């Protein structure tokens, strides 16, 4: 009896395609297989041949996602692609760390070779710092860092052999420092009295006026609760606590409310402080642009963990994005686009830090001469 391999529908008069699919399933399945097959083929070329770490990791992830889509069809004995989806998963799923180490090793080899050929100490140090940043980025991406220790030793050996340790320690930070006499005045204008008031209210929440006000509300609510004939058993069923009297219940409610208020105030404070810090950086960048400079940024902050939002993973370059291919390094337009797309992120632990044009070019490999 004819039976569709995908939906399981069967019947003596059921019409099937060459793939043993019914008329309803055939176009859907064929479309999914064709689309995923094309994406997988594109990914295979880049995963194996690209010189950029983020491209290889991003394409590997995309390849595995579409291999999982096709695996459903393979498991139902529907013809898909060669190699089979299951074979692709077996081959590429374990490759994440290997790709990180492989690309990082190649990059460091090339960078240190350029450093070796460099004539001046300043140029040698520039290449060494680039190698260190490449290595630190790789460390963020993998759990088992053992294989990276060998690469780290290569950098240390090069620094020692070239007597660069002292020069490396004296190298200025990558952040741009702009001298602006009016910057302090501009910062002062950003101070929000309401923010300070909120913080003061948070600290003084238990002063006499607040306590008196809370007691008034407790008395009013107590009368309403008594009139409603709410029993201790009902309160215990609702709250999970054995409450001796209504005042005790309302005092607990007050504490919960105060905790919520304190939590909100802390969130507001942390976010406002972060926004203020970013605004200061933005003002400095505006002054830099007014002087004819071109602005570039690095997205930095806490290392990725279970609390890191998806957009922050994107900004850090851990989660590949077509819109921000060089993350965590951004042009000024890309930074503006990122901030516009994701808006205010409460309690975010990451910010944009202005970097030099040379540093951006070194880290991304993109020429800024255009």
Determine the Cα–Cα distance for residues 120 and 187; give it in Å rounded to an integer: 40
pLDDT digits (tens, 9 = 90+) for 177-187: 444 445 545 54
Contacts of 12 (CB under 8 A, 6+ apart): 1, 2
Q: What pLDDT does residue 190 have?
A: 45
The whole-number average pLDDT for the span 213-228 is 57
**For residues 136 and 148, is the Cβ–Cβ distance under 8 A?**
no
Q: What pLDDT does residue 110 have?
A: 92
Q: Which residue has the higher pLDDT, 284 or 99?
A: 99
Residue percentage of the chain with pLDDT more than 90: 14
Determine the Cα–Cα distance for residues 244 and 231; give it in Å rounded to an integer: 10
Ordered by start, the domain boundaries in the chain are: 25-82, 98-170, 194-265, 294-364
Q: Is the pLDDT of residue 194 over 50?
A: no
Q: Is the pLDDT of residue 173 over 50?
A: no
Determine the Cα–Cα distance for residues 351 and 278; give it in Å rounded to an integer: 7
Per the listing, tokens 């002054």 go with 287
Q: Which band of pLDDT confidence, cut at 50, 70 and 90, is reported for residue 217?
A: low
Q: Is the pLDDT of residue 254 over 60?
A: no
Candidate from 47-51, 153-157, 345-349 with smallest mean pLDDT: 345-349
Q: What pLDDT does residue 109 have?
A: 92
Q: Is the pLDDT of residue 71 over 90?
A: yes
Q: Which band of pLDDT confidence, cut at 50, 70 and 90, is reported for residue 156?
A: confident
């Amino acid at each position: 009896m004819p039976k569709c391999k995908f939906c399981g529908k069967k019947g003596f008069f059921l019409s099937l395609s060459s793939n043993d699919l019914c008329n309803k399933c055939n176009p859907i399945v064929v479309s999914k297989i064709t689309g995923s097959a094309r994406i997988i083929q594109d990914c295979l070329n880049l995963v194996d041949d690209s010189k950029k770490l983020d491209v290889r990791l991003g394409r590997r992830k995309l390849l595995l996602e579409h291999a999982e889509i096709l695996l459903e069809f393979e498991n139902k004995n529907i013809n898909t692609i060669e190699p089979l989806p299951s074979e692709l998963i077996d081959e590429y799923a374990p490759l994440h760390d290997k790709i990180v180490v492989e690309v990082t090793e190649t990059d460091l080899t090339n960078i240190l070779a350029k450093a070796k050929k460099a004539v001046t100490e300043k140029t040698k140090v520039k290449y060494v710092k680039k190698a260190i940043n490449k290595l630190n980025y790789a460390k963020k991406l993998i759990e088992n860092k053992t294989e990276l220790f060998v690469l780290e030793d290569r950098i240390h050996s090069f620094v020692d052999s070239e007597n660069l340790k002292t020069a490396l320690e004296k190298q200025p930070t990558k952040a741009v420092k702009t001298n602006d006499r009016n910057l302090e005045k501009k910062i002062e204008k950003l101070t929000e009295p309401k923010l300070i008031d909120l913080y003061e209210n948070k600290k003084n929440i238990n002063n006499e006026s607040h306590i008196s006000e809370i007691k008034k509300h407790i008395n009013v609510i107590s009368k309403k609760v008594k009139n409603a004939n709410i029993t201790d058993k009902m309160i215990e069923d609702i709250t999970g606590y054995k409450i001796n009297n209504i005042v005790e219940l309302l005092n607990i409610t007050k504490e919960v409310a105060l905790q919520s208020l304190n939590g909100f105030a802390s969130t507001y404070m942390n976010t406002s402080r972060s926004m203020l810090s970013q605004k200061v950086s933005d003002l400095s960048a505006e002054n830099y642009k007014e002087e004819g400079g071109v602005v570039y940024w690095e997205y930095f902050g806490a290392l990725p963990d279970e609390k890191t939002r998806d957009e922050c993973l994107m900004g850090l370059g851990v989660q590949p994005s077509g819109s921000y291919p060089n993350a965590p390094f951004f042009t000024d337009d890309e930074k503006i686009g990122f901030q516009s797309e994701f808006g205010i992120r409460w309690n975010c632990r990451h910010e944009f830090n202005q970097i030099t044009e040379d540093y951006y070019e070194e880290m991304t490999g993109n020429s800024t001469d255009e």
